[in-house]
Each structure stands twice: as C-alpha cells, then as structure tokens.
Structure 1
Amino acid sequence: MIKLNDFLKPELLGNKFVAIKGYSEIKDRETQNLSAFRLNVSIQQEDSDFFMELIQIKVKNLNPTLGFKDMESNKAIPVVLKDLQVGQFNGNLWFSCSDVLPAK
C-alpha cells in the first residue's frame, strides 16, 4: 500500500535552489527566544514537477554557513540546502534543513 509519506521525498524537488531575499526569524512560542530562521527558496530543478515553486524552508541552524551579510547584497542567490527534509502536518507540507550553503 502506498502512503502519503512515500511522496514526501526531498529528491523529488531536485537539488537546484535559489534563496530569495533573506532570512526571517522564528521565535519560540513560549520563551520568545530565537529558535530558527525561515528562508524563501525557489526550486530551479527544470525536470522537477515543482520547478519554479516558492517554498519556505525552516533553517534549524542559528549560524548558517551562508549568513545574513551574504544575503543582504543579493536578492537571489543559488544555495545548497543541507539535510533537506519534507514532512506533513494537518494536511500542510513543511520543509526544513540543517544549514544553507552557497552553491558552487
């Protein structure tokens, strides 16, 4: 039997991504402390069914390799999303990664 999670594979998105603008903060609901960053990313993998879609990625690293300064001067920058994960909760998709690296 095929299950929904069988389709939630990061490989389906491809590996070509462009970060749009910069990071925004995600704060813990209880403490209001910074807990992660959010980054808008455009999927640029031409053979992906999701080509040109814009998704929000939760970056779980408070000191990402591609930092705020790198994003300030570029409105769009090719990136690598380390440890990209896709999941679903209450019918919504979520995306997260452990770090954002510059694409070569």
Structure 2
Amino acid sequence: MKLNDFLKKELLGNRFMAIKGYSEINDRETGQLSAYRLNVSIQDETSDFFMELIQIKVKNLNPSLGVKDLENNKSTPVILKDLNVGQFNGNIWFSCSDVLPAK
C-alpha cells in the first residue's frame, strides 16, 4: 500500500464548513496575490476525518463565495468545486477551483 492510496477526496466526504475568512497567498517572486487559503472543517459524519480542520488553497481570485461574504462570519457551509488532494515532500495539500455557498 502506498501513501497515494489514502489521497482520495472521496474519503473526506461532501459536507464542509468554512472557518472564518480567506487569507491571501502571494507569489514569491512578484509579491502579488496569486491565490487564497481557506480553513475548512470536515462535517461529514461518514468520513473517517470528521471534524478535522484542513487548509484549502483556492486557485480562483474571484471565488463565488467572495472574500466579503466570509469576512464577518465565524463559520459558513461551503461546497469545494474541483477539490484535489495531493502530496509533495511528505506533506499533504488540498486545493479547489472555487468555493460555493452550500444550500
């Protein structure tokens, strides 16, 4: 069995809660905004990782659930569009293409 066998987004479930707001990720070379980081709690009770807090890199500079939408909220249910899980140098990373409000 290999590490990549555990890197399946399906293991995380489908229910996520954004905690607080976005933080900016700046490009190392230019110093300009390149993405956002969002802390997310896994809320799917069927997931082995229920109640874990993970950081998601949001690759969209204009996410559907905007920076202002999360600015004053402590927690908000969200949908992570195109969620990806991977590993680099022994660290697990999470990314998505957009953050949508859950209904």
Task: Pick the TM interval, shorter chain.
Answer: over 0.9
- Greater alpha carbon shift after TM alignment, 46-55 vs 2-11: 2-11
Q: Tell me the residue number matched to 1:54.
A: 53
Q: Tell me the residue number matched to 2:65.
A: 66
Q: CA RMSD in A?
A: 0.8
Partner deviation per Cα, 1:3-59 (whole Å, 9 max, x = no partner): 221210111000100000000000010110110000000000101110000000000
What is the rounded CA distance, in whole Å, between the counterparts of 2:68 and 2:23 in structure 1?
13
Q: TM-score, normalised by structure 2?
A: 0.97
Q: Tell me the residue number matched to 1:40.
A: 39
1:51 partner SS: coil
Q: Tell me the residue number matched to 1:31.
A: 30
What is the rounded CA distance, in whole Å, between the counterparts of 1:62 and 1:29 in structure 2?
16
Name segments (4+ residues, structure 1) moved above 4 Å: none
What is the rounded CA distance, in whole Å, between the counterparts of 1:35 and 1:69 in structure 2?
18
- Greater alpha carbon shift after TM alignment, 3-12 vs 92-101: 3-12
What is the rounded CA distance, in whole Å, between the counterparts of 2:67 and 2:6 in structure 1?
33
1:86 aligns with 2:70: no
Count how many residue pairs are aligned between Structure 1 and Structure 2.
103
2:73 partner SS: coil
State the Cα distance separating 1:98 from its structure 2 match: 0.1
Q: TM-score, normalised by structure 1?
A: 0.96
Unmatched 5+ stretches in structure 1: none
